[in-house]
Amino acid sequence: MKPDSQALKASLQKRELELQRLIRQMKFDQLHQSTVYKNLELELDSVKTQLNQHVEDKR
């Protein structure tokens, strides 16, 4: 993998973990009906898609 590719993957993985933590905390705080929560879920899906594409590009 190229360094830029590795940095991108690391950045996406870091953001994925951040989003998962935020979403988990919002569920715990019973904020799962909020617009912010829904936007975070959409962003998490987007990050996961980008990570999957990154993995598939390496095959």
For 31-41, the pLDDT digits (tens) are 999 999 999 99
Q: Which helix (H) or strand (E) holds 5?
A: helix 3-28
Range of the domain at 52: 3-57
pLDDT of residue 23: 96
pLDDT of residue 54: 82
Q: Could you tell me which residues come within 8 angstroms of residue 23 by beta carbon, excluding any fewer than 6 positions away?
A: 37, 40, 41, 44
- Reduce the DSSP state of residue 29 to 3 states and report it: coil
pLDDT of residue 59: 66
| 14, pLDDT greater than 60 | yes
| 42, pLDDT greater than 80 | yes
Percent pLDDT > 90 in the chain is: 75
pTM for the predicted model, two decimal places = 0.81
CB under 8 A, 24+ apart: contacts of 6-11: 8/54, 9/51, 9/54
Number of domains in the chain: 1
